[in-house]
Amino acid sequence: MNMLLLQRRMVYRLGQLGSPGLLGLVLLLLAGLAWKFWLQSHELELQRLATTVQANAVELKKSKQSGTKIELTQETALNQFYQTFPLAPSVSSSLKNVYASASKNGLVLETGEYSLLQSDSERLVRYRIALPVKGSFQKILTFTDAVLEEVPTMALESASFKRENVTDLLVDAKLVFVIYVGAQP
């Protein structure tokens, strides 16, 4: 009897929701299922990586005990190289370092141009940052050196300098940096 009562209440409540409510309920259930499958796939990837780390640790321990050198395959060496690059979300902290370095060197960065350069086949993502800078030549060079030292995955793609008159102390420069980060898996 209780099951019949429960079933009738359920049908009544679903009837009260109407079409939009039922649609919302179905979408909520689908979102929950999608989240569950997404979480499971990431857990499997995490388990695979943990197994790889454990296998590498065992191999390293054996090689230390026997005094032999570990020979890395090209693929393993390449994967280790790509793992040294930070992931894309770290770009904002790199940009904070750039702006902090500019203010430390007494430069004001005007509005820059930011662009994402990526193809599907690349394992690195490139962010191109074009910054117009105005200041003394020495301050701009010091700023550039500081940025390249603080952000090891950043490269100076190009630099152009312009001075209106020979007697001007301030130089207009356009510095184009590229930040290399690992693509999201």
Interval 83-116: pLDDT, tens: 777 777 778 888 888 888 888 988 888 788 888 8
Which of 110, 107, 94 minimizes the C-alpha distance to 149? 94
**CA pair distance 75, 138, nearest whole angstrom:** 43
**CA pair distance 10, 71, nearest whole angstrom:** 64
Per-residue pLDDT of 139-163, as tens digits, reads 999 999 999 998 888 999 999 999 8
Reported as type and span, the H/E element at residue 29 is helix 2-66
Residues in the chain: 185
CATH of 88-182, one of 3.30.70.60, 3.40.50.2300, 3.40.30.10, 3.40.50.2000: 3.30.70.60
Which of 93, 117, 96, 89 minimizes the C-alpha distance to 185? 89
**CA pair distance 37, 104, nearest whole angstrom:** 48
Per-residue pLDDT of 3-20, as tens digits, reads 888 888 888 887 888 888
Q: Where are the domains of the chain?
A: 1-71, 88-182
